[in-house]
Amino acid sequence: MKTRLLVGTAVLAVAALALTACAGTASGSTSGGSIKTLTLAEAQKATSADDFGGMAGLVAAANKEGHLNVITLPPSWANYGQIIQGFEKKYPGIKINSENPDGSSADEVAAAKSQKGQSTAPDVFDIGTAVMNQNLDLLAPYKVQSWKDIPDDFKAADGTWWYDYTGLMSIGYDTKKFPKGIKKLDDLLGSDFKNAVAIKGDPTQANEALSAVAMAALQSGGSADDIQPGIDFFQKLKQAGNFLGTLPTQATVASGETPVVIQWSFNNVGWGPAAGSAGNPNWKTVVLPGTGFGSYYNQAINTDAPNPAAARLWEEYLYTPQVQNLFLAAGAYPAQLAAMKKAGTVDTSVLAKVGDAPSDFVQLSADQAAKASTLLTAKWAAAIG
Amino acid sequence: MTSLAESRGVGENPRRRGVRVGTLRASGAARGAGPGVAVGWIGLVPFGVYALLFLAIPAVLAIASGFFTVDGAFTLANFDTFADPTTQKDIIGSVGLSAVTAVVGAIAGAIICYALLSMRPDGWIRTIVDSASSVFAQFGGVMLAFAFIATMGNTGLIGVILNGLFGDNTYTSPLYTVPGLVPVYLFFQIPLMVLTFMPAMEALKPAWGEAVATLGGTRRTYWWRVGIPVLAPAFLGCTILLFANSFSSFATAAALISQGGLISLDIFRASTSETVIGHANEAGSLALAMVVVMVVLMSAYGALQRRAAKWGNR
Tell me which residue in B85, B146, B273 faces A106 most closely, judged by beta carbons. Answer: B273
- Which regions of chain A are under pLDDT 70? 1-33
Q: Which residue type, as a one-letter code, is found at position B230?
A: V
Contacts of A218 (CB under 8 A, 6+ apart): A224, A230, A290, A291, A292, A293, A362
Tell me which residue in B156, B255, B260 faces A202 most closely, judged by beta carbons. Answer: B260
Tell me which residue in A195, A372, A377 faces B154 most closely, judged by beta carbons. Answer: A195
Q: Taking 90 as the threshold, does the pLDDT of residue B22 lie above it?
A: no
pLDDT in the model for residue B2: 36
pLDDT in the model for residue A26: 37
Distance from the A340 Cα atom to the nearest Cα atom in chain B, whole angstroms: 31
Q: Can you tell me the mean pLDDT for B145-166?
A: 90
Q: Which of B155, B146, B172, B157 is nearest to B252 (CA)?
A: B146
Q: Which residue type, as a one-letter code, is found at position A104?
A: S
Distance from the B168 Cα atom to the nearest Cα atom in chain A, whole angstroms: 9
pLDDT in the model for residue A353: 83
Alpha-carbon distance of B314 to B309, in angstroms, equals 9
Distance from the A385 Cα atom to the nearest Cα atom in chain B, whole angstroms: 9
Residue bearing the bigger pLDDT, B28 or A84: A84
In chain B, count H helices and then E strands.
14, 0
Alpha-carbon distance of A323 to A345, in angstroms, equals 11
Contacts of B113 (CB under 8 A, 6+ apart): B193, B194, B197, B198, B201
B274–A206 C-beta distance less than 8 A: yes
pLDDT in the model for residue A207: 92
Residue A218 near residue A228, CB atoms below 8 Å: no
Q: Can you tell me the mean pLDDT for B10-26?
A: 40
pLDDT in the model for residue B312: 54
pLDDT in the model for residue B123: 87
Q: Which of A142, A75, A129, A128 is nearest to A102 (CA)?
A: A75
pLDDT in the model for residue B313: 54
Q: What is the dihedral of CA A303, A305, A311, A312, to 10 degrees?
A: 40
Q: Which helix (H) or strand (E) holds A168?
A: strand A162-174
The pLDDT confidence band at residue B122, using thresholds 50, 70 and 90, is: confident
Helix axes A366-384, B85-117, angle to 10 degrees: 50
Q: Can you tell me the mean pLDDT for B245-249?
A: 93
Residue A121 near residue A147, CB atoms below 8 Å: no
Whole-number percent of chain B with pLDDT over 90: 52
Q: Taking 50 as the threshold, does the pLDDT of residue B88 lie above it?
A: yes
How deeply is B305 buried, as exposed, middle or buried, from its count of CB atoms within 10 A (0-12, 13-18, 19+)? middle
Tell me which residue in A195, A210, A241 faces B275 most closely, judged by beta carbons. Answer: A210
Q: Can you tell me the mean pLDDT for B278-287?
A: 90
pLDDT in the model for residue B33: 53
User: CB distance from A250 to chain B under 8 Å?
Assistant: no
pLDDT in the model for residue B296: 93
Q: Can you tell me the mean pLDDT for B214-231?
A: 90
**How many A×B Cβ pairs under 8 Å?**
123
Which B-chain residues 20-79 have CB contacts (< 8 A) with chain A? none
Q: Taking 80 as the threshold, does the pLDDT of residue B216 lie above it?
A: yes
The pLDDT confidence band at residue B107, using thresholds 50, 70 and 90, is: very high
Which A-chain residues 91-150 have CB contacts (< 8 A) with chain B? 100, 102-107, 110, 128, 130-131, 134
| Beta pairing, strands A162-174 & A260-264 | antiparallel
Q: Taking 80 as the threshold, does the pLDDT of residue B15 lie above it?
A: no
pLDDT in the model for residue B310: 67
Q: Can you tell me the mean pLDDT for B171-195?
A: 94
B278–A205 C-beta distance less than 8 A: no
pLDDT in the model for residue B34: 60
The pLDDT confidence band at residue B23, using thresholds 50, 70 and 90, is: very low
In chain A, count H helices and then E strands.
15, 11
pLDDT in the model for residue A162: 96
Instruction: Please state, in angstroms and as integers, the Cα–Cα distance from residue A168 to each residue in A142, A355, A363, A379, following that order.
Output: 27, 12, 10, 25
Instruction: Give one DSSP letter per residue of B131-171, joined into a string.
Output: HHHHHHHT--HHHHHHHHHHHHSTTSHHHHHHHHHH-TT--
Residue bearing the bigger pLDDT, A26 or B162: B162
Longest dimension (CA), chain A: 89
